[in-house]
Amino acid sequence: MFLLTNRWILSSGNRNRDFTSSCDLGRTLCHGETGLARGGFFANEHVFASSRSLARRYGVRPRPTLQTSHRLYATAAEATKVALVTGASRGIGRAVALELARVGCRVVVNYASSESAAMEVVSQIEAIGGEATAVKADVCHPEEVDALFAQTTERFERLDILVNNAGITRDGLLLRMKRDQWQQVIDLNLTGVFLCLQAACKIMLKQRSGRIVNISSLVGQLGNAGQANYAAAKGGVLALTKTAAKECASRGITVNAVAPGFIATEMTHGLPLDEIIKAIPLGRLGEPQEVAGLVRFLATDPAAAYITGHTFNVDGGLGIGASG
């Protein structure tokens, strides 16, 4: 069963959680922060370009070939891409920001309230020789989104990658959920993604290139008791991903979604993990860097240039059979 008990709520890497006293929803599993794995999932893969004749005939632009090493990028230009990660001060967003910096991206670390945590991420990126800046913005407010993207282009003069990760939960049973609980989650988890997509696409359409990855959740595919607002928002992100992919593909922009399942964090301590793990075919919780590694592939790897409009689950098989 997906819902193991009414105490466990599956959610993505969000920065705030609020449990109503009217229902016993217990702990929330969230995406935390751990050390990043070395090397990349596809570091030893080769990408074979189409022949010149086929390229001319079908308009295929040859892609760089990866070398058999731990260096992800084949050219210096690829190693200076600019990435904006929303909600990057903690959890999955933090892991993604560090992973993108590890492969050479210049990173904008967006945060809404945790300035010290965001600056810590910037310091960690700089410590490994990377370049990063922290920008405060609540992405459910259009004017703050505009300022966020304006600061990004003023600093780096372009935007190659957007990772929509910011989100919250405001859990409650359907019949007891207050309208402000509903609206807060929809505003940030869905409208925030929409606003950032709009802002990013305005930049990327002019560049005729870009990669966008939206962090959704398995809840958006399966639903979850006590999370009507969250499920609706994350399900909306999946549909929005497909629509944006169709609208932007002709300009060389790919749009994909990643849907995490149960990810190990310090917040899982004290939970009956043995019972949770029994429901996961791979028999363990996921790690934040496993989500970040997939995001990095979709956002930077030449092998992902022909992938768009898809949702990729990182759930240990928990959602087998679910469609995104």
Catalytic residues: 230
Alpha helices in 160-287 (DSSP H): 179-186, 192-207, 219-222, 228-248, 273-278
The answer to whether 161 and 84 have CB atoms below 8 angstroms apart is: yes
Domain around 192: 9-314
Which pLDDT value is given to residue 231?
98
Name the token pair of 10: 């599956």
Task: Report pLDDT for 113.
Answer: 95
Return the closest-CA partner of residue 169 out of 224, 117, 98: 224
- Does residue 1 sit within a domain? no
pLDDT given at position 321? 72
**CATH code: domain of residue 302:** 3.40.50.720
Residue 202 in any domain: the answer is yes
46 within domain boundaries: yes
CA distance to 12, 15, 248, per residue, from 139 (Å): 17, 13, 21
Binding residues, by number, are 87-90, 165, 230-234, 263
CB proximity list for 132: less than 8 A, separation 6 or greater: 97, 101, 106, 107, 108, 109, 121, 122, 125, 126
What pTM, to 2 d.p., does this model score?
A: 0.79
Q: Is residue 230 part of a domain?
A: yes
Helices of type H across the chain? 52-58, 91-102, 115-127, 142-156, 179-186, 192-207, 219-222, 228-248, 273-278, 288-300
Q: Residue 310: its pLDDT value, please? A: 99
pLDDT of residue 263: 80
Measured distance CA(111)–CA(57) in Å, rounded: 45
Q: How many whole angstroms separate alpha carbon 307 and alpha carbon 256?
A: 8
Residues of the chain with pLDDT under 50: 1-75, 267-268
Partner residues linked to 18 by β-bridges: 170
User: In the prediction, which pLDDT does 273 show?
Assistant: 81
Inside any domain, residue 319:
no
Total count of domains within the chain: 1
d(CA 92, CA 141): 22
Give me the pLDDT at residue 281, please.
Answer: 96
Annotated binding site for NADP(+): 87-90, 165, 230-234, 263
DSSP string across 250-261: GGTEEEEEEEE-
- With the C-alpha atoms ordered 220, 253, 78, 193, is the resulting torsion angle positive or negative? negative
pLDDT recorded at residue 266:
52
Three-state SS for 303?
A: helix
Evaluate whether residue 116 is within a structural domain.
yes
Distance from C-alpha of 212 to C-alpha of 299, rounded to nearest angstrom: 7
pLDDT confidence of residue 80:
87
Give the helix, strand, coil percentages of the chain, each rounded to 5.
40, 15, 40
